[in-house]
Amino acid sequence: MQQPSEGLHFGKYKLLERIATGGMAEIYRARMTAAAGVTKPVVIKKIRPGYAGNSAFLSMFVNEARIAAGLSHGNIAQVFDFGEVDGEYFIAMEWVDGRTLSSVMRRAREKGMYTLPQPLALLIAVEMLEGLAYAHTRLDERGRPLHIVHRDVSPQNVLLSYEGQVKLVDFGIARARLAGSAEPVEHGLKGKYTYFAPEQVRGREPDARSDIFAAGVVIYEMLCGRLPFEGKMPDVLRKLALGDFPRPRDLNPGIPTALERILLTALAVEREQRYATAEAFAEALTRHLHTAAPDVSSSARAHFMGYLFEAELVGEGRPVLLPREFLAQMARWTQSPLERRALREVSPPVREPAAEGDEEERTPIADLELPLPEAPAPQVAPSPPGADEPPPVSRPERTTLPLPALAPATPDAPRLDASAPRAGGLPRMVALGAPIFMALTATLALLVSTSTGTFSVELSSSPPGAAIRVNGKPQTARTPALLTQLPADVEHLLEVQLPGRVPWSQTVRAERGTTLAVHARLLPKRPHTAAPAPRPHQPPPPRELRMPAGRISLSSVVHAFRVPYVSTAQMRLDPSRTYSVRVEGQASLGGVSSVAHAGYFLEGDSRLAARESFGVLDGEDRMVRNASRLHVFLLDANRTDNHGTLRVRVREWGNGSADTILRVDARTHAVKLSRADRFLLRGLEPGTTYEFVLWDTEEPAQTRGFDGGPVSRVLGLYGAGEGPEAAPGLLTLLEVGRPLRIRGTSWLQLAFPDDHLTDNTGSLLLEVTPVAGPDGPPASPPPSSSTPPR
């Protein structure tokens, strides 16, 4: 992935990485910084400099911003901002933490699924259609229909978040036409030609039913493993005009007749014969889904994303927990080996027209003689009689092997349900059925574990084939392996070793009946050098210093405090939901001025990252996810003179229910830190401006164990006087690599809020630099290097 210049600022945004580029536009992951240091992840789409003077493209770009900014729906990525920075036009839109539908289908094929499971495909389709239905029926401020048509519905423009949300993006060639306007009809053919509607091929103006046709093509692709219209552009356009494509059941006999009838209605050549609205199409799919799979829930989308992208999520410190009910459903939904073989021979996977993340250029109708370059789809020749089947498509991170006969398990050791590959390759049925066999085995393991109070671990590594030790006992199997009968609610030490690689270990603990996916990334060992001299004994980091203090080590073990739940305002949350939280009102902590902010701490499972577990709330919305309980508090050593109440407004996203108000009393919910729970820096000059910078160390601070990742932040309190015991302070948040400047303070208190201190490790490094003296001119200049000190 190509990176922009490190620390590149673009207006009020900071560009973090370029995630896609096309002929005319670039897309970046970015961070917006608002007042009081509040940040928000966003996506920036901007015109490439060479096309800033292209009036036609600029008009299309502005049109996208105008249309998308007026759309507010849970299934459409929200546009927040549009503007110009140094001559470059840009759109700032919602960051969706997930993948495109095209990459989801690609990963499913890599895992041996050449079609998506029907219930999951329909769950995705219904959400996509609901977003389209909203856009199609939008009215302007005077109540006139806008007649918005997306005109580019395709898997590349449907995003699936890891939480299971479905978002429609890229209204770059959409049209909004006011009722009665004299806007000229544009006959240019734009979009991805394999998803065109027949009327677009004939040069007619597309309408909402053209989007319905394109949505039908997307659903066909999910259920059949290929597009209905394939080939070079002239061939595709001819087939589109004639309605010449294989019936869904010809490619996938597992599609029910009723579902095929719904698809064929959406793909009718004449638009008058299609569903009149996207809402009617969605209702038809919903009725079928409730009949064919009444036990499926929307949470299955999130579990499926975890199942597909387990290696990437685990590598980011986000373990994947798959409920046994979902694994049982996957065993039912996954096709049999014979069906998969037949489908693979009839309809080999088709290569995407553009690489993932690239923005495909629009093709006008005049370019029919110069079709988009497209390599022929790889053909899989039928196997001769008696020959072994071709191996499944390779998977980049992990290969799950079938289960051999189980070896007797000792009472104190877990049972291993996988072994290393045999010499000479895998048996024929194993090569065909490994994915479904693994799902069935995991389901069986879960059923056993539920009845015996145990859980399972699906342990993989990159590279695979590593030796395994569990609680110090070597195992016969090598990665990947399924470990079963691990006693629940007890910690177990997993160790993975491979010659030439750095040994890896992790402690796991899970509830009864669950399966924990754990992935070990084994890093190469550095070339052997002379043994380093033994490190001298290091005294514990101090809990208090005076300026000048030099470099300060902040320990997540020594400088952490257990959040006193009895002294916090708290509210139960649903970990599967996303919330926005902000503070309203003011309260007095006994000083001259009032405060309009509070600290917060989140309880949650292993999906809650350490860096998201605490922070500062103010008047700006802050997003909260993967949390089971919210705690809000004030930091004050003397609460007897406090008065007033802050209101914390909690709003659940995607739910029409009313906001919940959590009241934070300045006296009841004020927390005092003891000297043993924090670090205190004294001796700051109130008339001097100081710059505080945090850096990670060789062992970054962690407050939620290995799975929680680095915490990368610390909660701060600063004020005047001798210290926090003598005067109230103001809350702030210091984050790694983000300098914070403060003036008018005599002391700074820092601490890591936490609920379980036993799994804390590592430290952060704090540098304090005076950047402006009492009279304004710079004192000693800050370091010019942007890299952390060593």
The answer to whether residue 419 scores a pLDDT higher than 50 is no
pLDDT band at 533 (very low <50, low <70, confident <90, very high): low
Residues 6+ apart with CB under 8 A from 624: 573, 578, 579, 580, 581, 602, 612, 630
**Residues 86 and 214 reside in one and the same domain:** no
In a domain, 320, yes or no: no
**Residues 603 and 652 reside in one and the same domain:** yes
The answer to whether residue 43 scores a pLDDT higher than 60 is yes
Q: Which of 6-20, 353-367, 520-534 has the lowest mean pLDDT?
A: 353-367
Residues 6+ apart with CB under 8 A from 426: 391, 401, 402, 434
Q: For residue 775, what pLDDT is reported?
A: 53
Domain that holds residue 186: 98-296+348-358
CATH of the domain at 130: 1.10.510.10
In a domain, 376, yes or no: no
Quick one: which H or E segment has residue 237? helix 233-242
In a domain, 396, yes or no: no
Higher pLDDT, 196 or 428: 196
Q: Are 177 and 381 in contact (CB under 8 A)?
A: no
Quick one: which H or E segment has residue 441? helix 428-452
pLDDT band at 369 (very low <50, low <70, confident <90, very high): very low
Three-class DSSP labels, 404-422: CCCCCCCCCCCEECCCCCC
Q: For residue 694, what pLDDT is reported?
A: 93
Residue of 86, 97, 140, 152 marked catalytic: 152
pLDDT digits (tens, 9 = 90+) for 435-446: 444 454 554 444
Q: At what angle do helices 101-110 and 208-224 cross, to 10 degrees?
A: 10
Q: Which of 159-173, 410-424, 559-573, 746-760 has the lowest mean pLDDT?
A: 410-424
**Residues 15 and 116 reside in one and the same domain:** no
**Residues 103 and 215 reside in one and the same domain:** yes
Where a domain ends, among 79, 95, 111? 95
Buried b (16+ CB within 10 A) or exposed e, 585-610: eebbbbbeeebebbbbbbbbebbbbb
Q: What angle do CA 175, 176, 181 make, to 5 degrees?
A: 120
Residues 6+ apart with CB under 8 A from 309: 99, 107, 162
Q: For residue 281, what pLDDT is reported?
A: 95
Torsion of CA 63, 67, 69, 71, to 10 degrees: -170
The dihedral sign for the CA sequence 115, 118, 120, 124: positive
In a domain, 90, yes or no: yes
Q: For residue 125, what pLDDT is reported?
A: 96
Measured distance CA(712)–CA(258) in Å, rounded? 53
Q: What is the mean pLDDT of the chain?
A: 77
pLDDT band at 616 (very low <50, low <70, confident <90, very high): very high
Where a domain ends, among 95, 114, 136? 95
Higher pLDDT, 766 or 379: 766
CATH of the domain at 83: 3.30.200.20
Measured distance CA(458)–CA(74) in Å, rounded? 34
Per the structure block, which two tokens stand in for 144?
A: 């006139």
**Pairing state between β 454-462 and 467-470:** unpaired
How much is the average pLDDT of 757-786? 67
Q: For residue 346, what pLDDT is reported?
A: 44
CATH of the domain at 474: 2.60.40.10
The answer to whether residue 58 scores a pLDDT higher than 60 is yes
Per the structure block, which two tokens stand in for 279?
A: 């809402």
How much is the average pLDDT of 591-603? 87
Q: For residue 763, what pLDDT is reported?
A: 92
Where a domain ends, among 57, 80, 95? 95
- pTM of the model as a whole: 0.47
**Residues 555 and 682 reside in one and the same domain:** yes
Q: For residue 229, what pLDDT is reported?
A: 92
Q: For residue 315, what pLDDT is reported?
A: 82
Q: For residue 731, what pLDDT is reported?
A: 94
Give residue for tokens 């839109």. 93
**Residues 89 and 32 reside in one and the same domain:** yes
The answer to whether residue 220 scores a pLDDT higher than 50 is yes
Buried b (16+ CB within 10 A) or exposed e, 745-763: bbbbbbbbbbbeeebbebb
Q: Domain count of the chain?
A: 4
Q: Residue 656 CB: number of other CB atoms within 10 A?
A: 5
Q: Which of 3-17, 483-497, 578-592, 682-696 has the lowest mean pLDDT?
A: 3-17
**Residues 552 and 691 reside in one and the same domain:** yes
pLDDT band at 473 (very low <50, low <70, confident <90, very high): confident
Of the chain, the percentage scoring pLDDT greater than 90 comes to: 32
C-alpha 105: how far from chain center: 17
In a domain, 74, yes or no: yes
**Residues 714 and 649 reside in one and the same domain:** yes
Per the structure block, which two tokens stand in for 418?
A: 């996988």
26 bridge partner residues: 21, 46
Give residue for tokens 């006011």. 178
Q: What angle do CA 773, 618, 627 make, to 5 degrees?
A: 125
How much is the average pLDDT of 221-239? 90
**Residues 88 and 104 reside in one and the same domain:** no
Residues 6+ apart with CB under 8 A from 302: 162, 163, 164, 576
How much is the average pLDDT of 264-282? 94
Higher pLDDT, 763 or 757: 763
What is residue 728's DSSP assignment? -
The answer to whether residue 323 scores a pLDDT higher than 90 is no
Q: For residue 143, what pLDDT is reported?
A: 81
The answer to whether residue 400 scores a pLDDT higher than 50 is no
Residue 737 one-letter amino acid: G
**Residues 269 and 136 reside in one and the same domain:** yes
625 bridge partner residues: 578
In a domain, 60, yes or no: yes
Q: For residue 23, what pLDDT is reported?
A: 57
How much is the average pLDDT of 651-656? 78
Residue of 192, 211, 224, 193 whose CA lies nearest to 121: 224
Measured distance CA(691)–CA(695) in Å, rounded? 13
Q: For residue 286, what pLDDT is reported?
A: 92
Residue 759 among the catalytic residues: no
The answer to whether residue 609 scores a pLDDT higher than 60 is yes
Q: Which of 129-138, 236-245, 388-397, 775-784 has the lowest mean pLDDT?
A: 388-397
In a domain, 515, yes or no: yes
Residue 525 one-letter amino acid: K
How much is the average pLDDT of 64-80? 82
pLDDT band at 187 (very low <50, low <70, confident <90, very high): very low
In a domain, 438, yes or no: yes
**Residues 82 and 111 reside in one and the same domain:** no
Q: For residue 581, what pLDDT is reported?
A: 94
**Residues 235 and 158 reside in one and the same domain:** yes
